[in-house]
């Protein structure tokens, strides 16, 4: 299988390239600089340009493009960058996929599609979109794949949770603090903190590439949802450190602004109904197992 990947240099993209090649697949990578290797092909989403050789003979395209949501404090300029980096690139790629007749498009999205404020209510792929900046961003991001879907391309929308990995992602910022005993719950801790192990993130994407029954949105989240307080305790336990602190909501809002309200102090209780119905089996079905795998520690199965 020939798989073309946009966004191959990030945490997920790097792991996906390695996994596909390990399984014997051909990988072509889209880059926004001058190509420096035979498997690289130049594209420029802002100009709607893509080296036509990249999609020649392609069996699938995976689009992982998007600026980091939590890297900078949000302002109008950065929020527009978050939208453009996802929606413009997706619209261009979906149109090129449609024109080239590529059979499969697997496109990134986010579990924040469901928004916050749902409390303990379980949400899955049949649930409606939430409100707020992130929910609207995810909805518009997914809508940008329409040219491919309308052309008959099997289009899968990966609504991913925070990825737990030892070499990046959310744990890159949390591990140093928790290792010093500075961990604790955020706000009242009752909001849900969706998670997925890196191995299952990659496993779900590869599964989506090959499982013909999968189409439309899939929640790429761990099957055992936890609240933020439970996540905090599990991370402390994995690192053998106490988690005595409480970070009040007003402090987080002052420190990181709107991002706190949208993605830290709220979170959906999402479950992976579509993946499980299609027969995907999780490598790390619990938060304890996922953290142990990411951190190289012994974890329980909670």
* Residue 263, in any domain of the structure: yes
**pLDDT tens, position by position, 179-211:** 999 999 999 999 999 999 999 999 999 999 999
Whether the Cβ atoms of residue 176 and residue 210 lie closer than 8 Å to each other: no
In a domain, 25, yes or no: yes
pLDDT, tens digit (0-9, with 9 covering 90-100), for 45-60: 999 999 999 999 999 9
Q: According to the model, what pLDDT value does residue 60 have? A: 98
- 301 lies in some domain: no
User: Within its chain, how far is the Cα of 262 from the centroid?
Assistant: 16
Residue 302 has pLDDT above 50, yes or no: no
Encode 76-107: b = buried (16+ Cβ within 10 Å), e = exposed: eeebeebbebbbebbbbbbbbbbebebebbbb
* Domain region containing 71: 2-295
Whether residue 207 is contained in a domain is answered as: yes
Sign of the alpha-carbon torsion through 290, 295, 298, 300 = negative
Question: Is there a domain that residue 300 lies in?
Answer: no
Q: How far apart are CA 42 and CA 258, in angstroms?
A: 35
Residue 298: predicted pLDDT: 60
**Confidence band, pLDDT 50/70/90 cuts, at residue 172:** very high
Residue pointed to by tokens 């603090």? 177
**CA quadruple 284, 285, 291, 297: dihedral positive or negative?**
negative
pLDDT at position 250: 94
pLDDT at 147 over 50: yes
Residue in the structure block whose two tokens are 């798989």: 3
Which pTM does this prediction carry? 0.95
Q: Identify whether the C-beta of residue 11 lies closer than 8 Å to the C-beta of residue 198.
A: yes
- Give the burial class of 296: count Cβ atoms within 10 A of its Cβ; 0-12 exposed, 13-18 middle, 19 or more buried: exposed
> Which pLDDT score is estimated for 287?
98
According to DSSP, the β-strands at 49-50 and 40-44 are antiparallel
CATH number at residue 89: 3.40.50.720
Q: How many domains does the chain have?
A: 1
Domain presence at residue 302:
no
């Amino acid at each position: 299988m020939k798989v073309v990947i946009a966004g191959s240099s990030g945490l997920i993209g790097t792991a996906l390239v390695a996994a596909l090649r390990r399984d014997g697949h051909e990988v072509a990578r889209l880059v926004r600089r001058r190509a420096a290797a035979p498997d690289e092909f130049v594209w420029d989403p802002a100009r709607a340009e893509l080296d036509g050789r990249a999609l020649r003979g392609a069996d699938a395209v995976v689009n992982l493009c998007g600026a980091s949501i939590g890297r900078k404090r949000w302002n109008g300029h950065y929020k527009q960058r978050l939208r453009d980096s996802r929606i413009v690139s997706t619209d261009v790629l979906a149109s090129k996929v449609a024109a080239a007749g590529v059979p499969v498009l697997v496109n990134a999205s986010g579990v924040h599609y469901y928004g916050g404020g749902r409390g303990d209510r379980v949400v899955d792929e049949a649930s409606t979109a939430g409100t707020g900046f992130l929910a609207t961003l995810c909805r518009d991001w997914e809508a940008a794949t329409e040219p491919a879907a309308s052309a008959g391309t099997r289009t899968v929308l990966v609504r991913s949770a925070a990825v737990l990995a030892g070499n990046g992602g959310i744990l890159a910022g949390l591990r140093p603090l928790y290792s010093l005993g500075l961990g604790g719950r955020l706000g009242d801790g009752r909001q849900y903190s969706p998670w997925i192990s890196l191995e299952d993130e990659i496993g779900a994407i590869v599964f989506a590439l090959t499982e013909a029954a999968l189409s439309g949105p899939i929640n790429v989240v761990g099957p055992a949802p936890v609240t933020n307080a439970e996540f905090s305790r599990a991370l402390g336990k994995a690192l053998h450190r106490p988690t005595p602190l409480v970070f009040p909501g007003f402090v987080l809002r002052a420190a990181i602004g709107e991002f706190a309200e949208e993605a830290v102090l709220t979170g959906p209780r999402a479950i992976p109904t579509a993946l499980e119905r299609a027969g995907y089996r999780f490598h790390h079905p619990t938060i304890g197992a996922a953290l142990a795998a990411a951190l190289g520690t012994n974890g329980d199965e909670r």
